[in-house]
Amino acid sequence: MPELGSNSAIAVTFLVDTGADMTVLHPQDSLRLLPTEDAWKWAMKKASAMVGGAGQGVRHYMMDAWILFTHTDGTVDSRNIVLCVGHPHPGNRQHESLLGRDVLQHYVSSFDGVYGLTLAARPPAP
């Protein structure tokens, strides 16, 4: 199967998890990204790891991915990351996908009771 290309895009609502080392796509979303048995066969050839926390005990496949944030003003910010894609398993199907510190470290965040969570791109170091 060829590499998944730019046509393999899905919208994901992540749970922001400051305790997660890495960004994880759980089956609520991974089954939409990889909807066929052939797609999973391709994914299972990737490097993999077992993760702790939500989804622990299930193999996660490491995939290069672009993550795009669309801001309320219509601008877009993107990051190239290694995404941990959780294998579908009855024990982890209820877990939300997690936005981890590998992505969050690039942003300054604030939380407001009215506006919710705000992420702003961290300015480059001088």
Beta strands in the chain (DSSP E): 15-16, 24-25, 48-50, 59-70, 76-86, 98-99, 107-112, 116-121
pLDDT at 85 over 60: yes
What is the second-level CATH architecture of the domain 15-121? Beta Barrel (2.40)
Q: Are 13 and 29 in contact (CB under 8 A)?
A: no
pLDDT at 1 over 50: no
Q: Are 69 and 82 in contact (CB under 8 A)?
A: no
pLDDT digits (tens, 9 = 90+) for 65-83: 888 888 778 888 888 999 9
pLDDT digits (tens, 9 = 90+) for 5-54: 445 778 888 888 888 888 998 888 888 888 888 988 988 898 988 776 66
What are the extents of the domains in the chain? 15-121
Q: Could you tell me whether strands 98-99 and 48-50 are parallel, antiparallel, or unpaired per DSSP bridges? A: unpaired
Q: Are 34 and 59 in contact (CB under 8 A)?
A: no
